[in-house]
Amino acid sequence: MNAFEATRLVAAREIRVKLRDRTFLISTLIFFLIAAAATFLPPLLAGGPPNVAATEAVAGPLRGAGLQVRTVPDDAAAEQAVRDGEVDAAVVAGPTVLAMTEAPREVISALSSAPLVQLLDPDATDSTLAFIVAFAFAFVFFLTSQTFGVQIAQSIIEEKQTRIVEILVAAVPVRALLAGKMIAGTLLALGQIGLVALVAVAGVAFGGDNGLLSLLAPAIGWFIPFFLLGFVLIAAMWAAAGALVNRLEDIGGVSMPVQLAVMLPFFAVIFLNDNVVGMRVLSYLPFSSPTAMPIRLFTGDAAAWELFASLALLLVAAVGFLLAGARVYEGSLLRTNGRTSLRTAWRERG
Q: Name the minimum Å distance from CB 165 to other proteins.
A: 9
The number of residues that bind other proteins (CB under 8 A) is 22
Q: Site mask, other proteins, residues 322-341, x = CB under 8 A?
A: ------------x-x-----
Q: What is the dihedral of CA 16, 19, 22, 23, to 10 degrees?
A: 110
By CB atoms closer than 10 A (0-12, 13-18, 19+), residue 179 is buried
Q: Name the minimum Å distance from CB 161 to other proteins.
A: 7
What residues form DSSP beta bridges with 89? 52, 99
Q: Name the minimum Å distance from CB 17 to other proteins.
A: 7
Q: Name the minimum Å distance from CB 47 to other proteins.
A: 48
92: phi then psi, degrees, rounded to nearest 5: -120, 180
> Which range touches other proteins (CB under 8 A), out of 10-18, 29-37, 44-52, 104-112?
10-18
Q: Site mask, other proteins, residues 145-184, x = CB under 8 A?
A: -------------x--xxxx-xxxxxxxx-----------
DSSP class of residue 285?
A: S
Q: Site mask, other proteins, residues 29-68, x = CB under 8 A?
A: ----------------------------------------
| Closest alpha carbon to 338 in 238, 251, 247 | 247
| Closest alpha carbon to 230 in 142, 133, 134, 307 | 142
**How many Å apart are CA 309 and CA 306, to the nearest integer?**
5
Q: Name the minimum Å distance from CB 334 to other proteins.
A: 6
The footprint of other proteins on residues 92-131 (CB under 8 A) is none
Q: Name the minimum Å distance from CB 350 to other proteins.
A: 5
**How many Å apart are CA 269 and CA 82, to the nearest integer?**
46
Nearer to other proteins, 181 or 296 (CB): 181
Distances in whole angstroms, Cα of residue 51 to Cα of each of 48, 66, 79, 100: 9, 10, 13, 13
DSSP class of residue 113?
A: P
Which amino acid, residue 159?
Answer: E
Contact footprint for other proteins (CB under 8 A): 1, 6, 9-10, 13, 17, 158, 161-164, 166-173, 334, 336, 350
